[in-house]
Chains A and B, each alone.
Chain A
């Protein structure tokens, strides 16, 4: 199959408008005849569900948590970008587009990114209309802050809880439709399989997490809005339930997986403290607006931070990148922190952290101003570390945070399976090899509020979909397969728990496929994953049954998926013999240690086709051309 990205013709500014005109429309009276299945209620899923139901479609929505409001989007802290140019500081659609393509290290599709920048302003308008309490100036207008990778202030925020407030906005719109009966909500469900019938996605099989029953749902299109796979590294800033399950099952049914090795390590997280730690906590990038990152100049300097005078400190980001300073993109900041630690200049009890210091900002603006901006983040830090960041500098370290890779989608957000769409972090579309801060919220809501309502209609208006009932044999077969897998997991009765395997896998991934990668390490990793997978299926410890709420069983299923998926991730990382964005191959760097792309050979999105577990996947390339932004080495100096 050849990849057709379906990028509309014409100048980049006009592509989306033309495309919206060219897309066929579904007659309003016919919309209610279509059944749309949406998996996931994060920003992408909730906004899509509400918007499609408002248009008249019949919508069924599924999520893992007990309530749609608890999707992982709730945890996003710092903000959401939009090209409003309210501060009058030189922003424009073009600049947001440019920054995003450049920030992504030229591995994103220009047409998608341009559309994202165009739509960005409408997201703020709509969210404000839903009652989202954005931060305001004294005159009542919306406030902005700066984020990494940009020299303008285009980030809108609601204290340190921007994701929460945007998600609650989308959730309220979703619940309004639930109240009206146009959306049926199915919480505590896990998608186990995708049903493909006569070449099109026509349904899903879910496990009811409370009763353990398998349930079949048929529909005319399926939207996967299931978030990212950062937890393949075990420790990450993601919520515990984040998983690759839904997209991986779809991948096995024919959806190509693109750029899995593009993973983002966030520079400012609370450092690891012990072996029982279940997650890493992000300290929002917005903190780099006012915090200054430093380490002691001398590796032997073991004084406490307040005793180290100015001249013995190395504000290494300001030193190395004078024009962006503390606001360089995430991949650059993370690697710089790693370099300091590799030089032995890390601080704290483990030596695995650097300082993020607010004393200058507190002196300049006063403690109350800092509290107002970041109060909840400072409290969170205090809760975790028992240290007061108003008095002593925070200690931070990079941690896995976001995954740019995901299911390959065309301009319409449709995967390689007709009728299967993928939105939000789960797809690969807009961020290339590195996502800029405050752009994931923008993308999730753009996909759900403003892209899918058009492109889904375009698909349904021309698709010929015969009736398919959820009692069709395809569904029964998938239900049986899913039940058998569960029985198999429960019958192993081995010695090691799913968490043991998960931790072990995560450590290997972090060591060999984390902030820096090389061919030798990746090959080593690739030889270990299949062994671990084999052992898992022989020695897993699991109790209880499949006919009840069984959280250990859920966990085991997700780890089983990670043990397959990790191999694809590592293969992708090995095949991409260049450094770009979050993918840093030690063999390919400039003399001063920056990522060195190879545009000649790797200016493409790598879309992988599943050929069987443990079998070599097939690589398909979507060539990327840059007509509007000129290819250049990123320079933040």
Chain B
């Protein structure tokens, strides 16, 4: 197969960027879009040109490192797929594919398609944990977790922290990401003691990082490769209300 790739090139955070058009040939349908970029990069290197910088690591949809906007969709048009899982059989031979970085104020561009998502880490550091030191734990079966609750918590915990939800949102809100963590820990009994502080602190940090506000667009859910549901956002809002209104602290 043959493709035309229009790729966002930008030397560094300070410089201006723009789309550059490339042609790649010899692509087979079972290759991923990242492997297609690999092939292009090899060609560029052999010609003495600078290859395209993009993030990836596991290449199987779990590490959350890959972060491409493909033809306008974060992680591409396929449902429930990361960029690295997107195979070329979903495109037509000879098609033009536009590849851009995740765009959001809180995710500054580092180079080409690479962005800085450390804001997510800071939001987690603000409260996305259970405060238990190593050595303190009781026997795991002392705390029973009903199966349906554990399953629901796992649905939310499946978030890979990729940031596609932010990139998809017209307001670049981080609600789905934050809601996934809040839901996971609010559902588990282990998360109960810090429930109020967690939601207040994580939300505050989220605002501080420059993420926008949720306007119920649901674009996040559509883009999420792990099918995290917007119902988690409702849960986040309930948790927040509960913490500020009902809490006696």
Contact yes or no, A543 B63, CB < 8 A = no
Residues of A within 8 A of B116 (CB): 66
Given known contacts A128-B190, A176-B125, A543-B48, A74 and B136 CB-to-CB distance under 8 angstroms: no
Given known contacts A176-B125, A380-B60, A549-B114, A276 and B50 CB-to-CB distance under 8 angstroms: no
Contact yes or no, A495 B158, CB < 8 A = no
Contact yes or no, B49 A543, CB < 8 A = yes
Contact yes or no, A75 B140, CB < 8 A = no
Contact yes or no, B60 A175, CB < 8 A = no
Residues of B within 8 A of A495 (CB): 46
Given known contacts A136-B150, A239-B57, A128 and B140 CB-to-CB distance under 8 angstroms: yes
In the complex, whether A50 has a CB less than 8 A from a CB of chain B is yes
Given known contacts A67-B121, A176-B129, A278-B59, A125 and B139 CB-to-CB distance under 8 angstroms: yes
Contact yes or no, B35 A140, CB < 8 A = no
User: Can you give 18 contacting A-B residue pairs, CB < 8 Å?
Assistant: A66-B55, A72-B58, A129-B130, A131-B190, A140-B144, A140-B146, A141-B141, A161-B154, A175-B129, A178-B121, A239-B57, A376-B158, A379-B80, A449-B134, A453-B134, A499-B42, A500-B42, A542-B45
Contact yes or no, A128 B143, CB < 8 A = yes
Given known contacts A141-B144, A175-B128, A544 and B50 CB-to-CB distance under 8 angstroms: yes
User: Using a CB–CB distance below 8 Å, which chain B residues touch chain A?
Assistant: 11-12, 27-28, 30-32, 34-35, 38-39, 41-42, 44-46, 48-51, 53, 55-65, 80-81, 85, 87, 89, 110-111, 114, 116-118, 120-121, 124-141, 143-147, 150-151, 153-154, 157-158, 160-161, 184-185, 188, 190-191
> A548 to B38, alpha carbons, bound, how many Å?
20
Among A68, A210, A239, point to the contact of B59 (Cβ < 8 A): A239
Contact yes or no, B184 A276, CB < 8 A = no
Residues of A within 8 A of B59 (CB): 239-240, 278-279, 281
Closest 8 CB pairs of A and B: A140-B144, A172-B129, A129-B137, A179-B125, A128-B140, A125-B137, A133-B154, A51-B134
In the complex, whether A615 has a CB less than 8 A from a CB of chain B is no
Contact yes or no, A175 B64, CB < 8 A = no
Contact yes or no, B87 A386, CB < 8 A = yes
Given known contacts A134-B150, A137-B147, A172-B124, A164 and B130 CB-to-CB distance under 8 angstroms: no
Contact yes or no, A239 B58, CB < 8 A = yes
User: Using a CB–CB distance below 8 Å, which chain A residues touch chain B?
Assistant: 47, 50-51, 54, 65-70, 72, 74-75, 84, 86, 122, 124-131, 133-142, 158-159, 161, 164-165, 168, 171-173, 175-176, 178-179, 185, 187, 210, 239-241, 273-274, 276-279, 281, 376, 379-380, 383-386, 449-450, 453, 493, 495, 497, 499-500, 541-544, 548-549, 551-552
Residues of B within 8 A of A175 (CB): 121, 124-125, 128-129
- Inter-chain residue pair count (beta carbon < 8 A): 228
- Measured CB to CB, the closest approach of chain B to A554, in angstroms, equals 10
Contact yes or no, A66 B154, CB < 8 A = no
Given known contacts A66-B55, A131-B188, A551-B53, A274 and B31 CB-to-CB distance under 8 angstroms: yes
Contact yes or no, A129 B57, CB < 8 A = no
- Measured CB to CB, the closest approach of chain B to A200, in angstroms, equals 26
- Measured CB to CB, the closest approach of chain A to B236, in angstroms, equals 16
Residues of B within 8 A of A130 (CB): 129-130, 132, 190
Residues of A within 8 A of B28 (CB): 273-274, 276
Contact yes or no, A276 B35, CB < 8 A = yes
- Measured CB to CB, the closest approach of chain B to A245, in angstroms, equals 15
Given known contacts A70-B63, A380-B60, A380-B61, A126 and B132 CB-to-CB distance under 8 angstroms: yes
Residues of A within 8 A of B65 (CB): 65-66, 70
Among A47, A65, A383, A541, point to the contact of B87 (Cβ < 8 A): A383
Query: B117 — nearest CB in chain A belongs to which residue?
Result: A66
- Measured CB to CB, the closest approach of chain A to B78, in angstroms, equals 8
Contact yes or no, B141 A279, CB < 8 A = no
Residues of B within 8 A of A542 (CB): 45
Given known contacts A66-B118, A141-B144, A75 and B134 CB-to-CB distance under 8 angstroms: no
Query: B125 — nearest CB in chain A belongs to which residue?
Result: A179
> A51 to B50, alpha carbons, bound, how many Å?
42
Contact yes or no, A549 B111, CB < 8 A = yes
Given known contacts A279-B59, A379-B80, A128 and B125 CB-to-CB distance under 8 angstroms: no
> A159 to B155, alpha carbons, bound, how many Å?
10
Contact yes or no, A548 B63, CB < 8 A = no
Query: A383 — nearest CB in chain B belongs to which residue?
Result: B85
